[in-house]
Structure 1
């Protein structure tokens, strides 16, 4: 499905005939029954990004991830050989959650030489092996080799840690990501270790928020400060520079001049004062030769690439830094949102201020997007309308909902056969 810049004639959508151009339904975002299908059809079958290797700086480092949509918890650890492993966060004795601090529903991280269950003291090595059983002689024919932690399939791409909750993944991580995403190999994600993290619980379906970042058709209306007055003029037109699909994944690229070329009225005063803001520091550090997957449409001048990795990960690559989004469903009309701005570590006070200003301004615009979501969810749940038109700039929205529907249909078909 991967295709390069659209030809001179025709629309983006028409060059992907398999997704159609008709009205679409958002029933997949309001139906409790469909959400239950998504749990199994998508989140127990797809590769899910749960973190970065920088969260595991040495042997024995670990963190937990609550994957509530799959009703499970995972512990990810750097083992004794330096590899990255993942296990279901469950003790083999009586099913107690193994790794947690004061509140079992909250995520945690740290360092240990082994994992010890709080309930009865069973101990497990960093490789998941059961090493110690309290009063082992009291058990009947207990073989500790049979009671190690249950492993979770875990693979790493470009420093991003992915897990797959299926008994046997249908594809390797590399094959699942496909050529459009893996063409980013070599991008220096590992150098961007100064992180600003935001988390929020939102009253909308996870796909509704993801839709907000798949098109920039909304920008002139919702974020008028971002664009010059001529773009805000009715009928003037506003379009991103490049859209591309590859399997279940998508990318949208923006073009545009550097931020400081805009007149002062198109940014906050703090942005001009600190020379930083929504698109990051004005003078971004060099990253060397970019990988071939960056700016796939060869846009000049290039602005941002937003790589949307199915099902719930987005990596937005700016000049010299990147932004990460994850959408974790918690019910058919709620989700947990995570955002992380990642910069190369500041070496001066000025650089640190630039990063902090970018994080604050980002939060402001993210709140503008998030502010729409409950209204969208509420209106969709009213059931007044069940079919909606999408324009050519919403090609990724159309594709995303089709992929979700296809994964659910495939699961239903295979489940019925079983």
Structure 2
């Protein structure tokens, strides 16, 4: 799908006629059968972000990622040549999980020279090659070259590590991301290495939570403190400044007045005292010239860009810092949410306090969004409402669910084509 600026009059949706305007069904978020199809059609085929290169600072650095939607665990490691590699986290001998600490279902990280299976002591190099077999002479015509770790396709864009679980990805990572996302090439993500991380196990389908961040239609009702009083009046209207679609990916921009120009009732007292809060520190360090992909709608004053990379990654870029969301399905009606605030390292105590306040206020507002999840999920599962009308500014919700359906439909057609 192409990209279009919104004219002075008209709608966003009219520029994407393939999306339609009719009410849509959210059965894709309540059906166990559909979730099983998503596993195969999406999470075993799309490029998935599993972390950043800063987690692998030197040779032998590794971490594991549990991907329940694909029923697998993956090891991500930096090898002796400096390359980032990924392997299925399973020993080739008897199928034992290879890398784990006290609890095999929990993720772990560390540093090592090789990976050793706890069960029978088989050892693998950082390149995945099988290096040692306990009592090797007792095996029958076994060639170690044939029993290395099973590799996973792995690539890096802008410091973000992606994996693809398909036997052969249909697209390279860069082609998959497309011009809207790669338009951020050169953004200094690598300078923002002070991280505040949150995880939450939520009782809703993964798409239900992602939907909340694709529109700001809900803000006056759910987050009234974040909008001026005049916008909270019935019929006043509240809308993002720019929406954009590129292939399976989406983005939205919001305008943003500088915080110190806003009235006190617009924020928590701690925000005004510390000059930091939901949108981060009021005065962020200069980053230099920004890439052309940032603020593609050329909104002035600009506030936030939210780039939503299919299927489950969102990068929200603020002034001088960014926020990361990931939604990992664990069943048809549960998922694990990961949030990470990424700042340039504090150089003073005051800057450190600014970051901490931003993290706490973010968590408070995220809980407001999360508070809707179980209610939405259980109501949808009742089956009473089978079609939901969407407004023009909910275009990204409409697009997201259509892309999910398209990927599943493509997967369903494959056996017939073969």
- What is the TM-score when the length of structure 2 is the normalising length? 0.99
Measured after TM superposition, the shift of residue 108 of structure 1 is 0.2
CA distance in 2, matches of 1:130, 1:238: 59
Residue matched to 1:158: 158
Residue matched to 1:21: 21
Residue matched to 2:65: 65
Which 4+ runs in 1 deviate beyond 6 A?
none
Structure 2 gaps of 5+ residues are none
Alignment of 1:176-195 (within 5 A): 176-195=176-195
Question: SS in structure 2 opposite 1:38?
Answer: helix
CA distance in 1, matches of 2:9, 2:260: 34
CA distance in 2, matches of 1:298, 1:82: 38
Residue matched to 1:333: 333
Residue matched to 1:284: 284
* 2:251 aligned with 1:233: no
* 2:259 aligned with 1:242: no
CA distance in 2, matches of 1:233, 1:194: 39
CA distance in 1, matches of 2:342, 2:4: 28
Is the CA contact (8 Å cut-off) linking 1:154 and 1:161 kept in structure 2?
yes
Residue matched to 2:149: 149
Measured after TM superposition, the shift of residue 262 of structure 1 is 1.1
Measured after TM superposition, the shift of residue 261 of structure 1 is 1.2
CA distance in 2, matches of 1:77, 1:200: 25
- The Cα RMSD (Å) is 0.6
Is the CA contact (8 Å cut-off) linking 1:26 and 1:387 kept in structure 2?
yes
Alignment of 1:190-339 (within 5 A): 190-339=190-339
Structure 1 gaps of 5+ residues are none
The one-character-per-residue Cα deviations of 1:142-195 (angstroms, maximum 9, x if unpaired) are: 000000000000000000000000000000000000000000000000000000
Is the CA contact (8 Å cut-off) linking 2:131 and 2:144 kept in structure 1?
yes
Is the CA contact (8 Å cut-off) linking 1:321 and 1:343 kept in structure 2?
yes
Is the CA contact (8 Å cut-off) linking 2:4 and 2:15 kept in structure 1?
no
Alignment of 1:57-136 (within 5 A): 57-136=57-136
Is the CA contact (8 Å cut-off) linking 1:98 and 1:116 kept in structure 2?
yes
Measured after TM superposition, the shift of residue 256 of structure 1 is 2.2
Measured after TM superposition, the shift of residue 417 of structure 1 is 2.7
The one-character-per-residue Cα deviations of 1:109-128 (angstroms, maximum 9, x if unpaired) are: 00000000000000000000
Is the CA contact (8 Å cut-off) linking 2:206 and 2:333 kept in structure 1?
yes
Question: SS in structure 1 opposite 2:161?
Answer: strand
The one-character-per-residue Cα deviations of 1:72-99 (angstroms, maximum 9, x if unpaired) are: 0000000000010000000000000000
Measured after TM superposition, the shift of residue 9 of structure 1 is 3.1
What is the count of residue pairs matched by the alignment?
Answer: 418
Alignment of 1:33-52 (within 5 A): 33-52=33-52
The one-character-per-residue Cα deviations of 1:252-311 (angstroms, maximum 9, x if unpaired) are: 000121122111111101000000000000001111100000001000000000000000
CA distance in 2, matches of 1:30, 1:373: 13
CA distance in 1, matches of 2:373, 2:168: 36
Is the CA contact (8 Å cut-off) linking 1:2 and 1:180 kept in structure 2?
no
Measured after TM superposition, the shift of residue 2 of structure 1 is 3.0
Question: SS in structure 2 opposite 1:326?
Answer: strand
